Structure 1
Amino acid sequence: MIDLQFGLAPLILLLLFLVAASIKILREYERGVIFLLGRFWRVKGPGLVIVIPGIQQMVKVDLRVVTMDVPAQDVISRDNVSVKVNAIVFFRVLDPEKAIIQVENFLVATSQLAQTTLRAVLGKHELDEMLSERERLNLDVQNILDAQTDSWGIKVTNVEIKHIDLNENMVRAIARQAEAERERRAKVIHAEGEKQAAQALLEAAQTLALEPAAMQLRYLQTLTQVAGDKSSTLVFPVPVDILGQLMGQARSAQALTAPVASPAAPSAQPPAQA
């Protein structure tokens, strides 16, 4: 009887070890892809999962969003400018079966695909578009990645271009271009202001010309402003039309006071000779 008990003890220990080894616990964000004798059986989880050792194998798959940093890529834009671009890809596994069976390592495959897609998409655009239209480029890269990884059971949720690195010569060229653009805008704004000022002055002159008394009131207002300033110099504005009248009167007076030249007397003829 004692020998029988000693013979069953190893079997009981082996059975307990197999039971303990067959019990798996999966978290809420994990799924287990079960293979039965090498063939796909089913996807289990989360919670308590029984896996028969030696007959069944389980591969865990994380369903949380993965944040993948795409290394800096050398990109030549459409206008032949060499830049270095890196990005971030956000994706998650929707179908654990496809993610394990259809591709060897979906993390590595997605990373390599993101690098090649980033170079291909950015190479079709000019440098100005890379710098000013990042949102559209992010959406283009995301759509291409999402379409190609759909057969792997992966959903690309977002792509963000993180940094575009330019060499120093290109940075200085862009700075000069921006400075020239600002100067152009300043000149255009200044010319537009001069045009508006000239238009306003023309309208004011036309308004004043309609009523002579308005010009006199404006003249008196100008004198009041000049007299109110505490200055040793007094500027006395004289309207141009008054100067014209004074100059006309001076010319008339000068013409009236000028002496009139008398006619020359006839010269005496010499007496005739006998």
Structure 2
Amino acid sequence: MSLTFLPFIVFAGLILFSAFKILNEYERGVIFRLGKFSGVRGPGLIILIPGLEKMIKVDLRLVTMDVPSQDIISKDNVTLKVNAVVYFKVSNPERAIISVENYYHATAQISQTTLRSVVGQYELDEILAHRDAINSKLQGILDELTEPWGIKVTNVEVKAIDLPVEMQRAMAKQAEAEREKRAKIISAQGEFEASKKLAEAAQVLGEQKDAITLRFLETMREVAGSNNSSTTFFPVPVDFLSKLMNR
């Protein structure tokens, strides 16, 4: 008789064993009883009524989702390829399961359309210079759109902006011209400062009669101390030359 009831005992044991579920600290279980929402349980040991209750696991950890490159036309009609990364997590397991069929797929799709819409509102120079502002705007819009699904978007980062080859060449030429412009400005400023110093030196030498003589002797000493031994200097007083010219 015991052998007759053995299959039933094994079947009952399997059903009873399947009623016990263990959820990790980062998991929650959305429970449905006869198709109706019953509650959110976990973490730890969960006991389900076999045949009456069903559980769907929800991961509460932060999800990193790559947004594929999107073809975008900027406000000044430049074609770009822009990709991004979205950080989000489930904040309400009940709504994440009941309000949307697949919250990950839905978040991915809304991220792509929002990326094209937001970036297309800026000109190319603004996109390259104000990436932080674009990230903040994307994060705010996505967080508002996904909030009814129980999703919290914590951050959005634009990763790469690919430009056409022609535009890259044009920007390289523009950058080179800008560098040449700055170099010429710096050189002109240096010449201007040098000319001012020379004018001040000439004024000082003109006011002091002995200064030009001392400078003359200093120059002769420097030349005489060089390696050119075939050159000989005979110092002649400047006053002597001036008197000779007057005569």
- TM exceeding 0.5: yes
The correspondence for 1:196, drawn from 193, 207, 226, is 193
Equivalent of 1:78, from 62, 75, 79?
75
Give the deviation of 1:147 after TM superposition.
2.0
Determine which structure has greater relative contact order: mean sequence separation of CA pairs < 8 Å that are 6+ residues apart, divided by chain length.
2
Opposite residue 87 of structure 1, the aligned amino acid is: A
Separation in structure 1 between the aligned mates of residue 204 and residue 151 of structure 2, nearest angstrom:
75
Gaps of 5+ in 2: none
For 1:117, the aligned partner's letter is: T
Go from structure 1 to structure 2 and tell me whether the alpha carbon gap of 1:197 and 1:106 turns closer, same or farther (over 3 Å shift).
same
TM-score, reference length from structure 2: 0.89
Question: How far apart are 1:243 and its partner, in Å?
Answer: 11
Specify which of 34, 39, 55 is matched with residue 42 of structure 1. 39
Aligned with residue 159 of structure 1, among 146, 156, 159: 156
Percent identity of the aligned residues?
A: 53
CA distance in 2, matches of 1:242, 1:73: 84
Aligned with residue 69 of structure 1, among 66, 69, 86: 66
- Give the aligned partner of residue 115 of structure 2: 118
The answer as to 2:56 corresponding to 1:59 is: yes
The alpha carbon displacement at 1:143 in A equals: 1.8
Instruction: Report the equivalent of 1:106.
Output: 103
In structure 2, the partner of 1:176 is 173
Where does residue 93 of structure 1 map in the other structure? 90
Residue of structure 1 in register with 2:15 after alignment = 18
1:220 counterpart = 2:227: no
Q: Answer yes or no: is 1:136 the counterpart of 2:133.
A: yes
Task: Number of aligned residue pairs: give it.
Answer: 244
SS of aligned partner of 1:108: helix
Greater Rg by CA: 1
Name the SS of the counterpart of 1:183 in structure 2: helix
Structure 1: tracts of 5 or more residues without a match: 254-274
Matched residue SS, 1:124: coil
What is the deviation of 1:10?
4.4
Indicate whether 1:29 and 2:10 are aligned: no
- Is the 1:226–1:235 contact (alpha carbons within 8 Å) kept by the matching residues of 2? no
